[in-house]
Chain A
Amino acid sequence: AIRMTQSPSSLSASTGDRVTITCRASQGISSYLAWYQQKPGKAPKLLIYAASTLQSGVPSRFSGSGSGTDFTLTISCLQSEDFATYYCQQYYSYPRTFGPGTKVDIK
């Protein structure tokens, strides 16, 4: 199985900050990577797929980049509604595996 890691595991930031989260795959996954946002008590929400394609309706302050094994999610100007946990997931092969998550909270 492909192992996904994320860093940092958590971060504290202020509204307006630029935030970058890194995701690494244990082997190459081309661009078969998705990013999800999850708020407490809610189902995950797809933000980005194919490593860099913004899901419909997702604000443009979110962006993704990378291919192969190294990927990043960037929030260009953090808003109050962005405080949440973010997960990456590979869909290159089965089993589909998630990263452990990055919790973004208020500084």
Chain B
Amino acid sequence: QVQLVQSGAEVKKPGASVKVSCKASGYTFTGYYMHWVRQAPGQGLEWMGRINPNSGGTNYAQKFQGRVTMTRDTSISTAYMELSRLRSDDTAVYYCASLDLRSGVDYWGQGTLVTVSS
């Protein structure tokens, strides 16, 4: 069956970087864009960006431009999201999601809690 398995929870200090992985199985990894969405505690969903697993092309939300980097390794069907210069308000659950909303495809990871605290 389709699975997106994310890496485990992280605790980081302000100013550090975090890299979250998302391993796909059960479908063609290069078939759909991989999106990253985050959710701060008690808050709504925030779209961060997406990567085309085929080409590696990316679109980032302007809010994260310069701080976020999305990459992929097609040989192991894994996508990565790295966020740098972390602040306390980056504390959130980060989700990867393989989406093609034009055809109703949505596969989500289980989420990765990133806590930024001194």
Contact = CB atoms under 8 A, between A and B. Distances in A.
Interface of A: 1, 32, 34, 36, 38, 43-46, 49-50, 53, 55-56, 87, 89, 91, 94-101
Given A94-B59, A95-B59, A96-B35, A87 B106 contact: no
B45 interface: yes
The A interface, classified by DSSP as helix, strand, loop or mixed, is loop
B101 A101 contact: no
Contacts of A94: 50, 59
Given A98-B45, A98-B46, A43 B102 contact: no
A53 B35 contact: no
Given A44-B95, A91-B101, 7 more contacts: A44-B45, A45-B106, A89-B101, A95-B47, A97-B47, A98-B37, A98-B47
Contact of A50 (B44, B50, B102, B109): B102
Interface string B82-94: 0000000000000
B29 interface: no
